[in-house]
C-alpha cells in the first residue's frame, strides 16, 4: 500500500508542475487567457477518452500494467513538450499527457479502494490523498524557480516519473485481475452514474475548480498585484496544496465516523466561502506575511486547499463504499470522465471570463460552478432523507 501510494504521489508532481508552467510559457508566447484555457483543455480531453475505455483496458491489463503504461506515456510527453514547442503541437502532446495521467489515476484509485476494508476506508483514502497532496505541493515550488521557456521544468517532471516507477515495482505483488463486465461500456458507466450522481458530479465540480486554479491562479495574482509578484502567484497554488496535506487524514477519519454525504456537502460549502473571500483579500499579497490581512489571505488559501482535497477524499471513499469489482472500475472511470469534463471546462470558462471582464472573471467562474453543485447536492441529500 505504501509503495503504491508513494508511486501515485510522486507522479502527481509532474501535473502540479506542468499546468502553471505551460500556462506561463504560452502567455510568454503572446497567447491570451482564452487560448491558454483551450490548450489546457486538451489535456483533460485525453483524460476523458481513456476513462471511457477504462472498464475494458484496466481488467485486460491489470492494475500494475495499466499504471506502468501510464508512466511510459507521461515520460514520453515530458520529453516532447520542450522539444516541440508550439500551440498546435502542444494540443496533441497535452492530449497524450492526459491519456497517461488518466491511466495512472483511474487504475490507482480503483486499486487502492479495492484492497482496503470499509471500516477504515476513509482513513486510508485520507492517507492516499495526503501523500498525493504532498506531491502536488512540490510542483509549484519548483515552478516558481524554473524558467518555463527552458527544458528544466520538464526534466524535473521526468525525474519524478522515474522515481515513481521505482516505487511501483514492489506493488506488483498486490496486483488484482478483474473479469471484464458483461454490460457494454456505455451501459455500465450510465448504471453507476445513476446509482451515485451526487458523488460522481462532485468530480466535475472539482475538475472545474482544479483546472482553473492550476492554470490561472498565478496569472490572476500577477494581474492583480503586478508581474513582479510572480512567486506570490505560485505561492497561492503551493500554500493550498501544502495545507491540504494536513486536512486529509482528519477528514478521512471523520468520513469513517459520520455521514459521508453530509461531510462532502460541508467541504463544498467551505470551498464556496473561501472563493468568496479570496478576491477580497488578494491585494494584501503585496504586504509582509505577518500583517493581519495577509495572514487572513493565506488562511483562506489554506482552507481552500483543505476543502478541495476533502471533496476528493470523501468522494473516492464513497465510491469504494458503494461499488466493488468491475463496477468500482466503472465508477472510478465515470469519476475520471467527469473530472476530465470539469477540467476541460474550468480553464476554458476561467480564461474566457478573464478575457471578457478582466481578472475578476477568475473567481466568478469558479464560484458559479461551486454554487450550482452545492444546490444540487443539498437537494439530493434532503430528498434522500
The pLDDT of residue 175: 73
What is the rounded distance in angstroms from the CA atom of residue 177 to the CA atom of residue 202? 28
Number of domains in the chain: 1
Residue with cell 504586504: 287
Q: What is the full per-residue pLDDT of the chain (385 aa) written as tens digits?
A: 777 777 777 777 887 778 788 888 898 898 988 888 888 888 878 878 887 788 788 888 888 888 889 999 999 999 999 999 889 999 999 999 989 988 888 888 888 888 888 888 888 888 888 887 777 777 777 887 888 888 888 898 888 888 888 888 877 777 777 666 555 556 667 788 888 888 889 999 998 998 888 778 888 888 888 877 887 878 888 788 788 888 888 998 999 888 899 999 999 999 999 999 998 988 887 777 678 888 999 999 999 989 988 998 898 889 888 887 778 878 888 887 888 788 878 888 888 898 888 888 999 999 999 999 999 999 999 987 7
Q: DSSP class of residue 183?
A: S
Note the pLDDT of residue 188: 65
Question: How many CB atoms are closer than 10 A to CB 165?
Answer: 17
Nearest 5°: phi and psi at 145?
-115, 10
**CA atoms of 45 and 99, how far apart (whole Å):** 8
User: What's the DSSP call for residue 181?
Assistant: P
The confidence score (pLDDT) of residue 181 equals 56
Class of residue 86 by CB neighbours under 10 A (exposed 0-12, middle 13-18, buried 19+): exposed
Whether the CB-CB separation of 27 and 151 falls below 8 Å is answered with no
Put residue 147 in one of left, alpha, beta given phi > 0 → left and psi -120 to 50 → alpha: beta
Which residues, in sequence order, are CB contacts of 383 under 8 Å at separation 6+?
none
The size of the chain, in residues, is: 385
Residue 384: CB atoms within 10 A of its CB come to 8
> What pTM value is reported for the model?
0.76
What gap in Å lies between CA 142 and CA 145, rounded to an integer?
Answer: 6
Task: State the CATH number of the domain containing residue 122.
Answer: 1.20.1250.20
- At 185 the pLDDT is 58
- The CA distance from 147 to 140, in Å, is 12
Q: Are 21 and 146 in contact (CB under 8 A)?
A: yes
Predicted pLDDT at 369: 92
154 and 81 Cβ atoms separated by less than 8 Å: yes
Q: What pLDDT score was predicted for residue 291?
A: 80
For residue 187, the model assigns a pLDDT of: 63
User: Is residue 241 classed as helix, strand or coil in its secondary structure?
Assistant: helix
pLDDT value at residue 90: 93
Range of the domain at 336: 2-384
Predicted pLDDT of residue 46 = 86
pLDDT at 140: 72
Q: Which pLDDT score, from 0 to 100, does residue 15 have?
A: 77
Report the C-alpha gap between 261 and 246 in whole angstroms.
21
Q: What is the pLDDT of residue 168?
A: 83
pLDDT value at position 81? 92
How far is Cα 82 from Cα 154, in angstroms, rounded to an integer? 7
The pLDDT value given to residue 292: 83
Amino acid at each position: 500500500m505504501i509503495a503504491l501510494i508513494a508511486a501515485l504521489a510522486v507522479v502527481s508532481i509532474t501535473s502540479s508542475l506542468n499546468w502553471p508552467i505551460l500556462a506561463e510559457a504560452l502567455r510568454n508566447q503572446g497567447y491570451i487567457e482564452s487560448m491558454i484555457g483551450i490548450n489546457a483543455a486538451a489535456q483533460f480531453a485525453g483524460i476523458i477518452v481513456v476513462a471511457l475505455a477504462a472498464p475494458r483496458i484496466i481488467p485486460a491489463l491489470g492494475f500494475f500494467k495499466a499504471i506502468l503504461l501510464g508512466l511510459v506515456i507521461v515520460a514520453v510527453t515530458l520529453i516532447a513538450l520542450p522539444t516541440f514547442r508550439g500551440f498546435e503541437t502542444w494540443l496533441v502532446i497535452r492530449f497524450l499527457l492526459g491519456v497517461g495521467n488518466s491511466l495512472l489515476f483511474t487504475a490507482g484509485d480503483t486499486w487502492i479502494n479495492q484492497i482496503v476494508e470499509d471500516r477504515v476506508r476513509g482513513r486510508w483514502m485520507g492517507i492516499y490523498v495526503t501523500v498525493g497532496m504532498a506531491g502536488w505541493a512540490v510542483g509549484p515550488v519548483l515552478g516558481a524557480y524554473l524558467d518555463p521557456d527552458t527544458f528544466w521544468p520538464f526534466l524535473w517532471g521526468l525525474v519524478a516519473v522515474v522515481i515513481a516507477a521505482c516505487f511501483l515495482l514492489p506493488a506488483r505483488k498486490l496486483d488484482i485481475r478483474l473479469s471484464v463486465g458483461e454490460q457494454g461500456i456505455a451501459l455500465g458507466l450510465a448504471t453507476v452514474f445513476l446509482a451515485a450522481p451526487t458523488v460522481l458530479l462532485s468530480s466535475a465540480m472539482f475538475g472545474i475548480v482544479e483546472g482553473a486554479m492550476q492554470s490561472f491562479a498565478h496569472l490572476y495574482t500577477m494581474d492583480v498585484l503586478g508581474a513582479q509578484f510572480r512567486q506570490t502567484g505560485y505561492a497561492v497554488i503551493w500554500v493550498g496544496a501544502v495545507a491540504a496535506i494536513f486536512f486529509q487524514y482528519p477528514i478521512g477519519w471523520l468520513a469513517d465516523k459520520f455521514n459521508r454525504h453530509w461531510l462532502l456537502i460541508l467541504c463544498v460549502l467551505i470551498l464556496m466561502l473561501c472563493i468568496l473571500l479570496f478576491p477580497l483579500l488578494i491585494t494584501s499579497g503585496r504586504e509582509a506575511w505577518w500583517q493581519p490581512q495577509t495572514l487572513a489571505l493565506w488562511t483562506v488559501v489554506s482552507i481552500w486547499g483543505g476543502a478541495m482535497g476533502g471533496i476528493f477524499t470523501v468522494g473516492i471513499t464513497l465510491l469504494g463504499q458503494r461499488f466493488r469489482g468491475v463496477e468500482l472500475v466503472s465508477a472510478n472511470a465515470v469519476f475520471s470522465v467527469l473530472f476530465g469534463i470539469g477540467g476541460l471546462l474550468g480553464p476554458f470558462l476561467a480564461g474566457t471570463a478573464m478575457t471578457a471582464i478582466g481578472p475578476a472573471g477568475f473567481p466568478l467562474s469558479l464560484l458559479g460552478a461551486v454554487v450550482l453543485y452545492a444546490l444540487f447536492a443539498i437537494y439530493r441529500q434532503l430528498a434522500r432523507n
